Amino acid sequence: MAFALTPRERGWLALAFAAVVGVRLATLGAYPLMDPTEARYAEIARKMLETGDWVMLQFDYGIPFWGKPPLSTWLSAAAMAAFGANEFAARLPSLLLLAGCGVLVHRLAALRGGRDQSLWTLLPFAATGLVFVAAGAVMTDPALVLGTTLSMAGFWLAVNGPERRAGGAMFFLGLALGLLAKGPVAAVLSFVPIVAWTLWTRRWREVWRALPWLTGALATAALVAPWYWAAERASPGFLDYFLVGEHWKRFVEPGWKGDLYGAAHARPRGIIWLFWIAAALPWSLPALGWLARAAFARRNDARRLVMDPWLAYLTLWVVTPMLFFTVSGNVLATYVLPGLPAFALLLGELWRPAAGDPRTLRPAVRVVVALALMLPLVVVVGIVTQRHRFDHELSHRALVELYAARRNSPAERLVYVGQRPVSAEFYARGKAVKVDDAAALAPYLGDANADFFVFRAKDLPALPAATRARLAPLGEFGEYRLFRELPR
């Protein structure tokens, strides 16, 4: 049912929305790429642009990355082609993808309750903790979320109108995007709530007639299958690792040992629900309060979630990621992201300004605006106060910048001994050398170049005295130390 905002309330909500989006856009390049995950995906995109290989993602030059499909990398590489290989370009696709989700949230809310409903819903979506953070990070999840949101919105429109033909196309396009973003998990996160809702409402005949299942499936396959075929052909073994390892063993084997690109994220089963509470802040707390009241004092409100087809659809959409990943022993907080667009829509339905309140700025609107503005404020304060930590401990941007400022010619190399963070590769444009240990330094110390060397602090006591005497310290960067080779 539609409700009306006052002109003053519309103004405050619009201003808060503009502030949230403006801060997010303005800060995309305000902090370095963080190790390990964000820098890794940015560097994979940079290598794609540099090498011109747009089929097989590369973990290192000539070493394929089998962990994810290419959609996010394609977008980051395209942005780097337009804006340069920098933080802004690497992160811009995440913002645009989640903006696309915002458009879909706006459309669904407007169809349900009009323009005021859409504005009331859109601000909490933009100011949800994980949405705001993900919009400013290099990751594959925003592409997945756009795919699942497009499919879920398209299904609803196809079955319930008024845009049935467009809805069917949206549904299958969303599946294709999801399969190119993260693989089969996109189909699972879409079909589980859809099948559950269809069975609950007993509308399977209507659902069967409403969508072009055969032509849609063929179109999806036509969009997705060529890349999977080309990737397996370019790097045999990819399909087995990605489909079996990443989509089965990762979720059923705690601490899965087959991860080629780092440690699996072993967590207690069920912790995904706690991740959701943190990811959906600040709105998860009032939502939990509403659920508690509905369970113990307002039973009719709880029944609405089940009996109203739209609210039931949103509820299933919200909880599916948590239900699916509850049984997994390897989870991340970002896994709840596909349900957050539905959470914003559900919040907009269940929490509204009091209809009989004559004030031009009602308490509920004041609370929403205040909570929404807290997040960008905290982010700006964090960027300003933690700049040194970001540059020196969580990324190697500052180290590479010092190396670039001190070297006399490109022939003077940056050499990491033992371990090389991915951000160093990105900021050195793939020129940071890695050797296994100090014994491998002889060729670098024996030539005419005054090279730069990076060690972990814990490895320095084992460094031979003769090698240490050849090095002059330049700076400390978290657990790493930068040295320059002294002239002979």
Which pLDDT belongs to residue 332? 86
| Digit-coded pLDDT (tens) for 248-275 | 666 655 555 556 665 555 667 888 999 9
User: Cα torsion for 251, 252, 255, 261, to the nearest 10°?
Assistant: -40
Q: Check: CB of residue 79 under 8 Å from CB of residue 87.
A: no
Computed over every residue of the chain, the mean pLDDT equals 91
The residues facing 483 across adjacent strands are: 453, 473
Which pLDDT belongs to residue 118? 94
d(CA 282, CA 302): 22
Reference 33, options 421, 461, 335; nearest CA is 421
Reference 291, options 358, 351, 337; nearest CA is 351
Which pLDDT belongs to residue 408? 92
Q: Is pLDDT above 90 for 344? A: yes
Residue with tokens 């087809």: 309
Q: Is pLDDT above 80 for 488? A: no
Reference 64, options 257, 237, 265, 251; nearest CA is 237
H-helix or E-strand containing 482? Answer: strand 480-485
The lowest-confidence range among 153-167, 391-405, 450-464 is 153-167
What is the average per-residue pLDDT within 36-43? 94
Percent of residues, the chain, with pLDDT higher than 70: 94
pTM over 0.85: yes
- What confidence category does residue 193 fall into, taking pLDDT thresholds of 50, 70 and 90? very high
Which pLDDT belongs to residue 215? 96
Q: How many CB atoms lie within 10 A of CB 155?
A: 27
Percent of residues, the chain, with pLDDT higher than 90: 76
Q: Is pLDDT above 90 for 123? A: yes
d(CA 203, CA 150): 21
| Digit-coded pLDDT (tens) for 380-415 | 999 999 999 999 999 999 999 999 999 999 999 999
H-helix or E-strand containing 60? Answer: strand 58-60
Q: Check: CB of residue 364 under 8 Å from CB of residue 352.
A: yes
- What confidence category does residue 329 fall into, taking pLDDT thresholds of 50, 70 and 90? low
Sign of CA pseudo-dihedral 353, 160, 202, 153: negative
- What confidence category does residue 432 fall into, taking pLDDT thresholds of 50, 70 and 90? very high
What is the average per-residue pLDDT within 277-296? 86
If one compares 301 and 473, the residue with the highest pLDDT of the two is: 473
Q: How long a stretch of residues is the chain?
A: 488
